[in-house]
Amino acid sequence: MSHFSHHVFFCCNQRQNGERCCNDHGANEVREYAKNKIKALKLNGPGKVRVNMAGCLDRCDEGPVMVVYPEAIWYTFVDKEDVDEIIREHIQGGRPVDRLRI
């Protein structure tokens, strides 16, 4: 059994050479938003949801990206409203958000 029901990783990689990366799209800010939202909903902690920052997840051309385990579902997002939808539908409701899947 996993320590968390869901583990959410946001790619927050920042490339220095001008190549496209997730953090160019505000990924770190959106990750912090998601982490605070999960806490506000009291979904965080052991047996619940963990939101983490990741280095490069090697899908830069599809970024920004996040992945939700244990289902291993990859998402892209445009804004905080997209992340709200992923939290509401996938994390809370068990229904992946097809329009944001990559």
Overall average pLDDT of the 77-82 stretch:
95
Per residue in 18-63, pLDDT (tens digit) is: 778 888 888 999 999 999 999 999 999 999 999 999 988 988 788 7
Stated pTM of the model: 0.92
- b (16+ CB within 10 A) / e for 45-82: eeeebbbeebebbeebeebbbbbbeeeebbbbbeeeeb
Cα separation, 51 vs 85, whole angstroms: 15
Token pair in block for residue 37: 């939202």
Question: 3-state DSSP: the chain helix, strand, coil percent, rounded to 5?
Answer: 35, 25, 40
Give, in degrees to the nearest 5, the angle at Cα 49 between 3 and 68: 95
Say what the pLDDT of residue 96 is: 98
- Is residue 97 pLDDT above 60, yes or no? yes
- Domains along the chain? 6-100 (3.40.30.10)
pLDDT over threshold 60, residue 84: yes
Q: Name the residue with higher pLDDT: 82 or 15.
A: 82
Which tokens belong to 97? Answer: 């958000």
Q: Indicate if the pLDDT at residue 1 is higher than 70.
A: no
